[in-house]
Structure 1
Amino acid sequence: MNNMYFTEEHNLFRESLADFLQKEVVPHIDKWEETGTIDKFIWKKFGDMGFLGINYPEAYGGLNLDLFYTVILQEELQKINSGGFAAAIWAHVYLAMTHLNAEGDETIKQNYLVPSIAGEKIGCLCISEPSGGSDVAGMLTTAVKKEDHYLLNGSKTFITNGVYSDYLVVAAKTKPELGNKGMSIFVVDRDTAGITATKLNKLGWRASDTAEIAFDNVKIPITNILGEENQGFAYIMQHFALERLVMGINAHARAEFALNYALNYMSERTAFGNQLNKYQALRHKFVDLYADMEICKQYNYTVANRLNNKEYVVKEATISKLKSTKMADEVIYECLQFLGGYGYMEDYPMARLLRDSRLGPIGGGTSEILREIIAKMVIDKKAYKPAT
């Protein structure tokens, strides 16, 4: 383990988490993958262990730990080979809850953040739309102010936890004529009239519930706005750094899991009288893949360290997601090949890994969109700034 970033306390936490996942989560994974529904009891168990509040304030039930505990959570979740379950956890903790903590007032924190940390309420973040996908600034959903409430209309899609969550953190245009400078964010209760969710049938991430959500004249109390009106785009961009870094960490972790599994298989499998890991063609291919994974892993640790020190790392986190998710796809594709016909069998982990990994370059901003964002920063010298 890299002692530059991980202390003995980190390592003990990793051991405890790994043991918890093996005992409490792994026995249910195949069922959840098949049904597409994660049983509610597991959220409370995560909350009781403190895993949902790792980097949140103690005042709201969190542990207030550094970001490398979050790195450990993401890495260990990848080792149980369910991208959908991992996504459900991090979409709740690092998408929905991030906005509650950063922009919510005290009432919102007590009503939503506290039960979220305890595993009693589950959230989702609603940004992407059917018409725009990764084009956040081009969203069409509106929230029109009407005396003591906002009236929300529009739709969102590809929303993780979009069916079974208890509340939704929703971005909408409060002043559409201002473009991205007229966007706001709200927290909305699931049972509010006018909300409908349709479950989507996905290639991978089968355990998680992903939805298209429609809002038809949904009344939101004025008090449910997060932060300041029309500042939503700045909040989203600032928090994208954590989301993209989390996806980058997920990618290097699942690639490392695939490599470890493939190496173990190759050390036990023989062909023409030799173990597979003794053939130079396979050994050298493995080393190339391992090197690519290790480069991304060390880069991601560096970015995590900077974010942990409160630096603004939107560019670096965007690079993390762009390169790490591409690397993971390539590594897992080749690791499946190492297993030959067994790699294609559902009884082995590579088939699910391959399907789950393919979402990496798509979700949370497609690689094409990320390249353009990076181009604006490094070629056009556009400077994004933290939300004030």
Structure 2
Amino acid sequence: MEMLANKYRELLQQTKVNFVRGLSDKINWDSRAICIEGARGTGKSTLMLQYIKSNLSLDQTLYLSLDDLYFKQHSLLSVAETFYQEGGRYLFLDEVHKYEDWQTEVKNLYDFKPQLKIVLSGSSILALQQSNADLSRRLLHYHLPELSLREYIALKAKVSIPIYSLSDLLQNHRAIVDDIKNFLPSPLKFFREYLTYGAYPFSMEGEAEYLMRIQQLINVIIDYDLPEARPIELSSLSKLKKLLYIISTAVPFTPNISRLAEQIVTSRSRLLEMLDLLEKAQLVRNLRSSAFGISLMNKPEKIFLNNSSLIMALAEGQPNIGNLRETFFYSQLAGAGFRVSYPKKGDFLIDNQYTFEIGGKNKDSKQIATEVQAYLAIDDIEYGTVGKIPLWLFGFLY
């Protein structure tokens, strides 16, 4: 127990609080049980340690990583019992999916230690999604997306820029650009950097190794996280990686499911299962029409990687610019909590209300001319005009 407490204190001492993800302000930290979900590398562990460091007493708090070898021979319940008896009231559990039957033990802690507040997280969102129904009802779930462009700028340039609502952005985008440029004279420069280095906070540890670390992250998710969470054949792992590569190098990818299944040597139904699995692992986003709803057997209208950094890591220096633009837009809107679906005309439908077409500065509005509340999101411009909004500006929604 003392060894675990010492590891926790060392981690806490190394934790910096100069930049904190925006989600921290939205979490109801007073809840009895919280689950923070999110893709690998988004900063869930750091978020928990930062909250502890800034808000809680060391004497009442314990952070445990359940992949520690200590838990090969000791139970979580016994550690938590000792901690509680010594006055502990805030228990933070990281990498919970690495601990066998974690759901049952967390449920018991919740039920029998009513004064204990529990915050848990893990790097395998698939494993967290498999928590039993009884535990799910007890947990308040939050999702930590990848960094927005706004958060990347705050981290990289130490510049704090406000969050803007989508409605404000659509109505007042020129004034908003003026406001941002007071803080940031060259927003397009940071937008270009973001497309390669912006999605994950570990870019601050060195850009030279950033794309290599993303490739390693992908391998860990496919080779370890997926088999731990779901029965999956060894031969399917290489097919999943090939599928990601195909998506990364394509134009905004409108799939022919049968042809794509032939490319990776699998069946149509198995390919749809793979796409669902990759989406749950937060490596791809499957864009579907709102008219058909979300179903495993409904093929997506388009397939995107989860963020532009994944494209840059997989596309071997040859990304399609249209794919990058649309992936950026999709990731920023989805990260801000909007429902993104496939429209009858244009590229994206947001909350069944706003239609968007994405393109370069010469893009016209012919394709969406007949749509109500339709807009162009345009790359390579700092300022927009009526109905034409700079693409980079959608990075300030969260």
TM-score after normalising by structure 2: 0.27
Q: Which has the larger radius of gyration?
A: 2
TM-score after normalising by structure 1: 0.28
